[in-house]
Structure 1
Amino acid sequence: MYRLLIVDDDYFFIKGLQSDINQEQFNISEIVSAINIRQAKKIIKNQKIDFILCDIEMPQGTGIELLEWMTNENHNIPLIFLTSHAQFSYAKQAIQLGSVDYLLKPASEEDLEKVIKKAIDQINQSDQLKNLNYYKKLWNLHHPLIIERFWLDIINKSIPNQMNIIEKVALKRNIPFSNKLIFLPILIRIQRWHMDTYNSSSDQKTIEYGVRKLAEEVFFDGDNKGNYIQLKDELSLIIVTMDARESYYRPILEEKGKKFINLCNMWFRCDLTCYFGEQIAFVDMYDQVENLKVLEINNVTYDNTLLFLKDAMKTNRDIQLPDMKTWVNMLKNSAFTQVSLEIETYLKEAKDVNVYFLRNFQQNLLQMIYLVLNYKGIQAYQLFGAKESIELSNKAVHSIKDMIIWIRHVINKAAYQTSRVKETNTIVETVLCYIDQNIDKPDLSRSEIAEQVFLNEDYLSRLFKKELGIPLSNYIMDQRIKLARELLLKTDISISNIAFSVGYSNFSHFSKVFKDKTSYNPSEFRKKMLC
């Protein structure tokens, strides 16, 4: 029978664990608790404790400090950290001090049962483990975090790509090394999350953790273990470890890969692709991962599929781009919907498309749209300068699906603005409203007003004069003087303040313009009209 100690400053969390743990299943006779390390030390000194579940961050001392004290006092009790803190520094300390495992809250019932079983197995094998040196035990119990750091150094070339140097570094870090080991790298790219997959950074971390655990469950089975390494957001690497006598047959890989993708689609609502490398030795890992990254970058056609490096064709950077002259003419005639459909059909039917093709295609398409918008007097750089437009543009070269989403966005915005230009009254009304609202701005300019309606300023000036029969700049001046006249007659505001309120920062200039328009300076006008 075993006695378990739970150390956590959260009373309700302790109670929850006590009710969740199946004491009969694990032959646990009693579960005792402590809310700080002072209480925990007292219990450990005076009672028989077989293993411990412990938080890290607590008000009166950390779980790390408790484990250090136990080590110094020769209390060789298996300890499992169950904490909200995911920092590598904590995990590293826990590993160095010999903890059984390190779980993040909230841990699933299945994960909790696994670590309890692991602790009990360690208790039962304690006599054998005493014969192992410290670093061998470290490897057996905690190798994933240590090896993950080791692999990252190889992949990032912090460790030179030479077998003798790799072996020296491994031995220096107390990592068991054998040149008989072979590895299978699998690159995983999350291509997109579907709407509302997660709403906060906390949700995102939970889902990423879920993807990681699912990958480990699917690809690591039996004697084939390995590491899951997060390279960057939405890009991770699985390294399956084998010995030279083993082989991972392609049908098995395909079965596992399809299972992983289907479960990710269903549980995490994301699109992804798995890229399979070949079975290699330590020294080949850097080159293999780089080749997988190139394969991933050039995959703009497929998602929710499996791609094998062995099958990959050489990237063709000279794929023929389409002639867009017909599309230009169609856009000039406002056939926006038809053009969008034709472009989508073309992309869906295109063969051997890669990222270089999509980049060039996007540049040509932008040039075409800018040409048409300029022809219609619309400022394209302002129309597509919004945050959403920029984000969609950056994602467009990732895949044909993303390119189609961007094309729809661009063409829809162009169509909307073109329709607004045709509605001249709407444009002029918007301009008049903007002038009224900003008449007090000394620097109110033609270019600023043109930006509000996404038009070229010369085109706007022609349009404005055609509709109102007066140049835009003259209209602004007339409105300023009109407002000044009303303020002079209806208020006691000083003339200098009136000048400022109608957009004149220079009083002398205001007086001159006012006299040119009314034949009186402002003071004379007020006196004459109020007599």
Structure 2
Amino acid sequence: MRVLIVDDEVYAVEAIREMVDWEALGIGEVISAYSMKQAQKILTEKPCDILICDIEMPRGSGLELLSWMREEGMDTVALFLTSHANFNYANRAIKLDTFDYILKPADPAEIQKVLSRAVEKVEENRVQKRRLEQAGYWDDSAVQRMEEFILRVADGRIPADREEIFRQAGLSHLSEISLDGEFYPLLIQLRAETEDEKEWGKGLVEYGLKNILSEVLSNLQKNGVEPLIPQLAPRYYATFVPQDGMDWEAFIALCQQALSACLSAMPCAVTFYPGRLSAVEGFAAETESLLKLASDNILYDNTLYAPASIEKITEEEGTWQKVLDEGADPDELGTLLDRAARGGLLTRTYLRRMFVRTQDYIDRHSIETPPGGAVSDIEQLQATASLDGMKDWLARSLSRVPERELDERQDTRDVVEILRRYIRGHLNEELGRNELAQLVYLNPDYLSHIFRERVGVPLVDFITAERMKKARELLLSTDLPIRDVALAVGYANISYFSRQFKRAQGQTPLEFRKSAGKIV
């Protein structure tokens, strides 16, 4: 096994050479380079298994070197050892599939440990490569380019404009890809990781998933191109199935066939999320919707999961409210939860809506204030994270409500306060006017009118302002990546979030962090 150390500081290279027990790691050759150019020459002549590289060097950075290596098709396991704790460096390093990123000065034992894992990764890659070769499976570069293009459409990096998408496809020389007609989107989520999956390894799991889906979907693809199944995020994959006269029932049957094949062959739990028929310009919106649906799923593994109709959820809410009004029996509410679970309704959104209704009932009926004051965010998270968590919370909280009748009518002040509290507690969710109106049993137009009258701003502007306020807090008080901040305030599309933030703040999220001194 061969290792290349790259650093413009000679003493740093020598220090690493001396502090590591190479023989114990099974590494037979250690090569040194002191610039990007030297490293490129060595890598061209001698493929290296592991790269240890400084990031900031005067004649070409470590990131530029790794980018060049990836463009050249080198799968070297890369480890950055640097004194620069910079968000941009870490972000770019992750995108280039860096194995690890350690700050100087590093403890020798830590470096030895990380290198030991890197050696294991090299061996794992070799085993997987041999298995893939034996299976006769190699990703064609054209397929990789097409998957990357579809990924850019699905995650919004290419604007959701039909002409622009076709123009970009032409610029990328993707004549094989068919973008005409309509497609059924399908999101595939690998659920909780299992020990069997760890033994398989990430590469083999991905190969197995793609191979199964390709077999099921291959007859539907156009121009002889195999199905495109890009990875949206860790453990999330997507494909877009051409309609070609196939109705919804036939599509669901096809999904069930693919799911059954996955469950019989894959080492982990898999859930499929089928989406609505869409043209290519709708891919980003549908992908965002399906990702939100997946994040809402708390119960359903190894299944084909589609959202319940809003009418059904509203009907269940009405039943829930009726039980509250008739005495709020926790056992009866628990029975409703069990029924919702059997009917495919039990999601985080469902539990949150029932939580808000129940908490409002408690607030209006309780004589005493619960210990610690108002319900905490942690208590709400625990209650809405699982079926058992909700049942436990109901049993505890409803015991504080005395058995007495109160006027159930709410004036407009109550309605507006309920909405403001709900919005602030659910910024990471879809907050449409119709859904909010159903929450308080009001006509959407009337709700908008009284909200603006009481608050002084339109409902949609209030929601956006609250999201931007929360985003500013997270950007200043945490080190969360920009994408995670966007998700936390209800934006699955990071580009759209950045535009909204700049419109409100006058700066992009990254510029805002920099101006506040959060990024060096």
- TM-score, scaled relative to structure 2: 0.47
Q: Which one has a bigger Cα radius of gyration?
A: 1
Which structure would you say has the larger RCO, counting Cα contacts within 8 Å and 6 or more residues apart? 2
- TM-score, scaled relative to structure 1: 0.46
